Amino acid sequence: MKHATAVTIESIGSFVPQRRVTNDQLAEFVDTSDQWIRSHTGIGARHLAEDTTATSDLAVQAALDAIERSDLTKEDIDGIIVATATPDYVGFPSTACIIQDKLGLNGIAALDVVAGCTGFIYGLEVARGMILGGTMHHVLVIGAEKLSSIVNWKDRNTCVLFGDGAGCAILSASGSADERRGIKQTILYADGSGADCLIVPRGGSKAPLQGVTVAAEDVTIAMEGRKVYNFAVAKLAETIRTLMEDNDLTIDDVDRIIPHQANSRIIQAAANRLKIPMEKFFVNIEDYANTSAASIPIALKNLEDQKGLKKGDRIIIVGFGAGLTSGGVCWYGNEYHPLPRSGAQYAGMGKDFHDASPAVRELFELASECSGIDMREVLFTGDAGLLKQTAYTQMAVTLVNMAAYTILRERGSFPTAPRVSVSVNSQLIMPPASSPLRVCSPSPQPGVGSWESMQTARHSRSESWVWRQ
């Protein structure tokens, strides 16, 4: 295998359980309140898995999501690294091996990484080293947790903090000389003298469960909150500062900071210490709570879904957790693809483009007029299954691609872009140089058809599609 010169994050996926528990719902059986939880943590809700769901089940769904959002197939994956504090089994087998089997990828390397909430960052660096060493080419790096299984629901100081979920990044080898892409630097840190600050006291070789009466507090999370808070604020600030200095970045050069989502007050304190506006930090703790090793990839997926990742964006990822551990990554983002691959259409796709641009709204009106189909209804409020039907899929994907193209042109992303025209039977829709869209020639008869690619000259700087009924 040819050795890579760089490692990129190819795609990001995530999965959270359907069951969502708000603070008010939690207060029905825990001595707490929505006001207390929000004021102390910034958390508004968390997702909790069913009793029959294992960490590996959450991880598999996140991995499949990441693969679907990439240009890869399952068969391209040659390594799995799983960061978790809540493995399916204590000690062995590794949760990574269970995930490997569930994905049908027997034979590829699979291992767990244990570094608390910093585990995903540790996993990224393990994968990067293996890729640069030529051992692997495409690696699933998964952070997955079922923290509800190790929470003491009678301890309001800890049980309100945690949620369940999984996130996955696919790391891939790259031979690109483009310095705007890929992972640039990783910082890893540990201070074992703080091991007792965040711990599950019993169940390991030091304090086995055999022959003892087990109390809930023996096998659930115990935390010295003040010590963890002080460590977290200090290491977040220090790691962000070091990554910026080592990569010659000012805060204006950094597009986003993705911190571990443990507590909004920790993030705010670190921001204040560095004199960085909170707008630079992406925070989603209100909806997910602390999902430990899963929190960073879930946040990255949320940011991507909001179209918040662009080619060349300078991203700092930073975390801290049990051990005590901390770490950070400087990553220059890959090009963002605004649509899922064909076959992964979803109801609502393109609505953000539609709402953001009058020209795109005009485009939707024209497409609906030409096809005889209300494309807003099909895309925004229709049955997701409808978008899987060929008659609608091709038109919907083409329409949303044109909408994305229009937005990018309006924002100056294509200063020398080729002209794109779309012909619906005899009607031509094309974005001229002066404005994104206009219509020429008479309307076709309404009906259902399909988009067909039109042959263009080999060196032509134009593309066109024809609508056939």
| Residue 117 falls in the annotated catalytic set | yes
Strands 450-453 and 79-83: unpaired
Residue position matching structure tokens 């091991």: 195
Q: Of the residues 168, 260, 263, 370, which is catalytic? A: 260
User: Burial of 180 by CB count in 10 Å (0-12 exposed, 13-18 middle, 19+ buried)?
Assistant: middle
159 is catalytic: no
Dihedral pair phi/psi, residue 420, rounded to 5°: -120, 130
Strand partners, 140: 80, 170
CA distance 248 to 251: 10
Beta strands in 4-114 (DSSP E): 6-15, 20-22, 45-47, 79-83, 109-113
Q: Which residues pair with 173 in a beta bridge?
A: 7
**Residues 15, 452: Cα–Cα separation, whole Å:** 35
Quick check: helix, strand or coil at residue 361? helix
In the residue annotation, 440 being an active-site residue is answered as no
Question: Annotated catalytic residue: which of 23, 263, 290, 334?
Answer: 290
Considering the candidates 47, 97, 117, 302, report the single residue annotated as catalytic. 117
How far apart are alpha carbons 460 and 74 in whole angstroms? 36
Helix axes 225-246, 264-274, angle to 10 degrees: 40
Residue 308 contacts residue 256 (beta carbons within 8 Å)? yes
What are the φ and ψ backbone dihedral angles of 225, each rounded to 5 degrees?
-55, -45
Q: Are 346 and 352 in contact (CB under 8 A)?
A: no
Active site residues per annotation = 117, 260, 290
